[in-house]
Structure 1
Amino acid sequence: MPPRIAYNSKDAVSSIKDNEAIWTHNMAATPTVLLKGLAQHALSCRNLTLLQLHTEGDGAALMVAPQLRGHLRCRCYFVSTVTRKAVQNGDADYVPILLAEVPKLIRSGEQRIDTAIIQVSPPDQHGNCSLGVSVEATHAALEKAGKIIAHINPKMPRTHGDGLIPYKNFHTVYEESAPISCHAPATQNDVYNAIGQNVAALVQDRDCIQTGIGAIPDAVLACLGDRQDLGVHTEMFSDGILPLVEKGVITGAYKKIIQEKLLLVLS
């Protein structure tokens, strides 16, 4: 049976019912359009749980709005600037867990997922959409979700790796061209720059690095311009990596596995 075509974002999530556990796509792939629809639809529901890692944008902010109390509650496996205050105030829940353990938790069935809401690229000639710039634990969530609701966004880049999903697997699709969530580079200062220089001094030629989000990782990356043949095997791909790739500092030539490729799970 082909996916149902929704006529707006609220209609796209209209199949979500009381007491459902909903997984949302994360980071730059946060499905802002669908979350805005969910903010409206949730007012007619009770006891929804939104499962998430790090979400971005104004759609994510609506998920912790006071008017959704009793209707929807966030369960966070990663606390972001969007959810931090709600967690501190007891209006959202935090589960202390390593990112690498989240797919295991999902696949174990201990955390049920009734619906997954995602943002994907348009299907290719083989009928496959791409999870784009953020695969993380969403790939595991799609394996377990009872239904998948997809925002098909022409602006979502296609990426290589384990992030393809057949269009036919969707329960509902909604297509709209919309901006991808972006995280502005952190403002640098003398303290961050000093930390960056100290950390960068520990990185040798041909080392393989993992980076995170924020001012300090950006400062470290900015101090690695004279290294040679670095590799990247990371969860987070930030803008600070790109100049090093373009300069030829990051080549991956001496990585132990997956040589000459950058490996990441989210951006």
Structure 2
Amino acid sequence: MSLTDRDGTPVHWNDYLKSGNRIFIGSNAAVPNALIQDLIDNSSQLHDIETVHILTFSDNVWAEPRHKELFKVNSLFIGGKNVREAVAAGRADYTPCFISEIPTLFRENILPLDAALIMVSPPDKYGYCSLGVSVDVVASAVKSAKYVIAQINPNMPSTNGHSFVHVNQIHAWLKQSQALPEIPEPELDPVSERIGQYAALLVEDGATIQIGIGKIPAAVLRYLAHHKDLGIHSEMISDGIIDLMHSGVINNRRKTFHKGKTVVSFCIGTQRLYDFVDKNQHVEFYPSEHINSPVNIAKNDNMVSINSAIEVDLTGQVVSDSIGYQFYSGIGGQVDFIRGAWLSKGGKPVIALPSTTKDGKISRIVAHITEGGGVVTSRGHVAYVVTEYGVANLIGKSIRERALELIRIAHPKFREQLLTDVRKNYWVPEYQDNTPTSVPELGTIELKTYTFKGDPFILRPLGPADERKLQEFFYSHTKETLIMRYNHHATQMTREKSCNLVSVNQHKDLALCFTQRDHLGEVIQAVGRYYFIEATNCAEVAFVIRETQRSKGMATTLLLQIIKIARKRNLSKLIACVRRDNAPMLKVFENAGFIRGYSDDFDEVSLSLTLTKQ
């Protein structure tokens, strides 16, 4: 096949291009490889053609050293074979830009396009071709370029939405079949599985989500299988959404923008996905300036944005486009969706990453950004950070609190050094000397969800970053509650005291809490703990429940969990001292099998439970 105009007349590339022009190359899974090869084969006397593109799943032959006289590469998002190497070698440029703003570069002639090389489906009976699996910034390139040159590919799906280009918008074309690149669903490892479980806990029924591709997104989607009425407003989708749409988990019913539709700008996956989106009325493709607009994203209530990172420092700064001085990817749509989720009613911006590099030798939660690393998402934009060790909530947190939250979800072998490093900058006071520890007996996922009288709660370990929350919990108590818990009317919970109570060595003692959160905060509703007595291999148990949450079963649930953990730790006995007039708490202990014993204090009842392995 040769390049022809709309009338079928053979044309030459010199009819549309001259040396020094700038061309756009189609994105993601829609790279017109045959068209590019035809340009290379018939380039004649053309030189120094600037290529502009985002991520391209292709051999990217234009970025090979042998074509450096013909092409000058300018990547707006680095990735794929040859491009990253070309940028690193200085043969190619990287221009950072939000995906939502790339159309402006074309439209305002900041990066004027002489031609757009794209891939489309064959025209329908009305003369419309579809941009198929990649509408993203391709749509804006089509509108802005002087010439549109297309590869008509019968393997390109015809997708719905704003994905159509009429044949009268195309100046020349090459009819050439090309298989779309396939990226199979990744095999999940234990780290990705745990991150997926934690991230899924942040997604409530009825939420609208944005998610990418890779192990962590695949794991998140796996653990959304039992959610209800989810929606999709995402830059991209992959195979993971297919089964969720078939099962009705993703039905878009409760969306508040594009209700009833899964909306995206591109997709990448296997042939199963490409077949799924072909003429699918329930999936619509829109340009990046529409999908990635933070204003439009925010029109979705309960928008949850889940993005990845290379590293996060202890103030919350996110590096995601470079490894030190080496540019690795790009800004992409991360900031667009994080900002949109922040502005959404009930929205949650989430950064998810493993706690270490693949070899486990380097922490990805860092005291300071690696030299040369670039901040893509500022500390002001970050809300939640997730690793395989939990969820750090940074909303409204001071630098000191952020550091403690992030240290808690760092890999345990790096926590002590991170605390030492952060102390050099006086973010952590001297009395705060314990690094966060885990409660392995809770399992790999240390957050447990419970429902009491229809309301959701989370059971988790207390941690050093809970200092202020525990203070607030203390000052919420009535005088009667304080007397019941402390046997006197305690009037103050200093920072030092609160810090001591939350900075627990969870491998020795134990401190659990029930919390309740909305999209902007977390409130402690109950605390249960035990203090280990080494001399007798036993522990003393204590509880306090917020007054408004009593009679729901929290104390019983906490006590049963504490008993379970104590048994696993081979403790011989649990003891408790409860005021004689605290009938509800006495009942909780006795229902759990505690037996009353002798007490030196007439106002108190001593109880004990002998533990046996189960």
Q: Verify same fold: TM over 0.5.
A: yes
Aligned equivalents of 2:77 and 2:32: distance in 1?
A: 17
Alignment-mate amino acid for residue 66 of structure 1: P
Aligned equivalents of 1:77 and 1:17: distance in 2?
A: 23
Give yes or no for contact 1:4–1:172 (8 Å, CA) kept in 2: no
Partner of 2:223: 223
Deviation of 1:4 (Å): 5.5
Partner of 2:214: 214
Relative distance call for 1:202 and 1:42 in structure 2 (3 A) is farther
Alignment of 1:190-205 (within 5 A): 190-205=190-205
Alignment-mate amino acid for residue 78 of structure 1: F
* TM-score (norm: length of structure 2): 0.41
Secondary structure of 2:139's aligned partner: helix
Relative distance call for 1:95 and 1:156 in structure 2 (3 A) is same
Deviation of 1:70 (Å): 2.5
Give yes or no for contact 2:58–2:80 (8 Å, CA) kept in 1: no
Moved more, 12-21 or 186-195: 12-21
Relative distance call for 1:192 and 1:152 in structure 2 (3 A) is same
Aligned equivalents of 1:72 and 1:6: distance in 2?
A: 27
Aligned equivalents of 2:13 and 2:181: distance in 1?
A: 20
Secondary structure of 1:139's aligned partner: helix
Deviation of 1:180 (Å): 1.5
Q: Which has the higher contact order (CA 8 A, sep 6+)?
A: 1
Gap runs ≥5 in structure 2: 268-614
Aligned equivalents of 2:217 and 2:45: distance in 1?
A: 42
Alignment of 1:152-163 (within 5 A): 152-163=152-163
Alignment of 1:1-80 (within 5 A): 3=6, 5=8, 13=13, 15=15, 16-42=17-43, 44-58=45-59, 60=60, 62-80=61-79
Give yes or no for contact 1:12–1:172 (8 Å, CA) kept in 2: no
Deviation of 1:215 (Å): 1.8
In the alignment, is residue 120 of structure 1 matched against residue 91 of structure 2? no
Secondary structure of 2:63's aligned partner: coil
Aligned equivalents of 2:136 and 2:240: distance in 1?
A: 20
Secondary structure of 1:100's aligned partner: helix
Secondary structure of 1:50's aligned partner: strand
Aligned equivalents of 1:255 and 1:51: distance in 2?
A: 35
In the alignment, is residue 241 of structure 1 matched against residue 241 of structure 2? yes
Deviation of 1:141 (Å): 0.9
Give yes or no for contact 1:12–1:149 (8 Å, CA) kept in 2: no
Partner of 1:129: 129
Deviation of 1:103 (Å): 0.9
Secondary structure of 1:263's aligned partner: strand
Alignment-mate amino acid for residue 95 of structure 1: T
Deviation of 1:14 (Å): 5.2
Aligned equivalents of 1:31 and 1:107: distance in 2?
A: 22
Structure number, greater radius of gyration: 2
Give yes or no for contact 1:5–1:174 (8 Å, CA) kept in 2: no
Relative distance call for 1:249 and 1:6 in structure 2 (3 A) is farther
Partner of 2:263: 263
Aligned equivalents of 1:91 and 1:211: distance in 2?
A: 32
Give yes or no for contact 2:23–2:50 (8 Å, CA) kept in 1: yes
Aligned equivalents of 1:185 and 1:21: distance in 2?
A: 35
Aligned equivalents of 1:169 and 1:135: distance in 2?
A: 15
Cα-to-partner distance string for 1:100-145 (whole Å, 9 max, x where unaligned): 1111221111111001111111111111111111101111111111
In the alignment, is residue 93 of structure 1 matched against residue 96 of structure 2? no
Whose strand fraction is larger, Structure 1's or Structure 2's? 2
Aligned equivalents of 2:218 and 2:89: distance in 1?
A: 30
Deviation of 1:69 (Å): 1.2
Relative distance call for 1:135 and 1:198 in structure 2 (3 A) is same
Deviation of 1:188 (Å): 2.1
Deviation of 1:36 (Å): 2.2
Partner of 1:149: 149
- The root-mean-square deviation of aligned C-alpha atoms, in Å, is 1.8
Task: Number of aligned residue pairs: give it.
Answer: 261
Aligned equivalents of 1:262 and 1:12: distance in 2?
A: 41
Deviation of 1:12 (Å): 6.7
Partner of 2:108: 108
Give yes or no for contact 2:105–2:112 (8 Å, CA) kept in 1: no
Aligned equivalents of 2:76 and 2:152: distance in 1?
A: 25
Deviation of 1:79 (Å): 0.9
Amino-acid identity (%): 33
Give yes or no for contact 1:230–1:251 (8 Å, CA) kept in 2: yes
Aligned equivalents of 1:118 and 1:12: distance in 2?
A: 17
